[in-house]
Amino acid sequence: MLILTCPCCGVTAEETEFHGGGEAHLKREGPGSDDAAFEGYLFHRENPRGVHFERWRHVYGCGKWFHAARDTGTLEVFGTYSAQTTEPPADLLEKIRERRPGWSWREFS
């Protein structure tokens, strides 16, 4: 069972206080988008063994959504950060490069 630190209220808590919300940094495709783009948005998800970016909600705590970068194989958590961004922060990406040389995930590496 994981422990995560909520970047919104600062609590480090066990997984039972949180709720996973799937892949992070999806771009919403609304009316007018073509079928392929919409299909990708609605259904296609990364499922890596290794570095992954996810959405989590501190559902039993402050109620806030946030992002987490972690390794799905070793469960190492590289960091958590605001949900209100379209890409992971630069220092976190740098840390992941140090910990997992050669990693890539979608357009990030």
Partner 1 sequence: MSTRLTQGGARIDRTKPVSFRFNGQQLKGYEGDTLASALLANDRMMVGRSFKYHRPRGVVASGTEEPNALLGIGQGGRFEPNQRATMQEVFEGLESTSQNHWPSLEFDVGEINASLSRFLPAGFYYKTFLWPRSFWKHVYEPFIRQSAGLGKAPKDRDADTYEHFYHYCDVLVIGGGLAGLAAARAAASGGARVTVMEQEAHWCGRAADDGAEAQVADLVAELEGMENVTLRTRCMGAGVYDHGYVLGYERLTDHLSEKSGPRHRLWRVRAGQVITATGAIERPLSFAGNDLPGVMLASALRDYVVQFGVSVGDRTVVVTNNDDAYLTALALVGAGLTVPVIVDARQGGGGALAAEAEAKGIRVLKGHGIAKVKGRKRVTGVAICKQVGEGAVTEEIACDAVAMSGGWSPVVHLWSHCGGKLTWDDAQAMFRPDGTRPPTGEDGKGFVICAGAADGAFDRAEVAASGTKAGLAAAEAVGQAGSVSDLTAPEARGDNPIEPVWLMPASAKRKLRAKAWLDYQNDVKVTDVQLAAQEGFESVEHAKRYTTLGMATDQGKLSNINGLAILSGALDTPIPQVGTTRFRPPFTPISMGAIAGEARAETFQPLRRTPLHQWHVDNGADFEPVGQWRRPFCYIRPGEDRHSAVTREINQTRNSLGLLDASTLGKLIVKGPDAGRFMDMLYTNMMSTLQPGRCRYGLMCSENGFLMDDGVVARWDEETFLCHTTTGGADHIHAHMEEWLQTEWWDWKVWTVNATEQYAQIGVVGPKARTVLEKLGATNIANEDFPFMTFQDHKLAGIDARVYRISFSGELSYEIAVPAGQGLALWTALMEAGAEFGATPYGTEALHVLRAEKGFIMIGDETDGTVIPQDLGLNWAISKKKEDFIGKRAQSREDMAREDRWKLVGLETLDKSVLPDGAYVLADGTNANGQRTVQGRVTSSYYSPTLERGIAMGLVLRGPDRMGETIQLNKVDGSSVAARIVDPVFYDKENTKNV
Partner 2 sequence: MSEPVSALGGAKTEALVTVEEMAPRGMIVLRGKLDDTAITGALEKVSGLAMPGQRGITVDGARRLAWMSPDEAMLILPRGDVSGAQADLTAALAGAHALVADLSDARASFRLSGEDAALREVLARLSPVDMHQTAFGPGMVRRTRLAQVAGAFWMPEVGVAELVTFRSVAQYAFDLLSVAARSPRVFA
Q: In angstroms, give the least distance from the CB of 48 to partner 1.
A: 17
Residues 60 and 16 sit within 8 Å (Cβ to Cβ): yes
Which one of residues 50, 60, 63, 106 is an interface residue with partner 1 (CB under 8 A)?
63
- Regarding beta strands 51-57 and 19-23, do their DSSP bridges make them parallel or antiparallel, or are they unpaired? antiparallel
What H or E segment, with its residue span, contains residue 94? helix 90-99
- Is 9 near partner 2 (CB under 8 A)? yes
Query: What is the token pair recorded at 102?
Result: 């050669």
The residues that touch partner 1, with contacts defined as CB under 8 A, are: 1-3, 14, 21, 28-33, 35, 38, 42, 55, 57, 59, 63-65, 71, 74-77, 83-84, 99
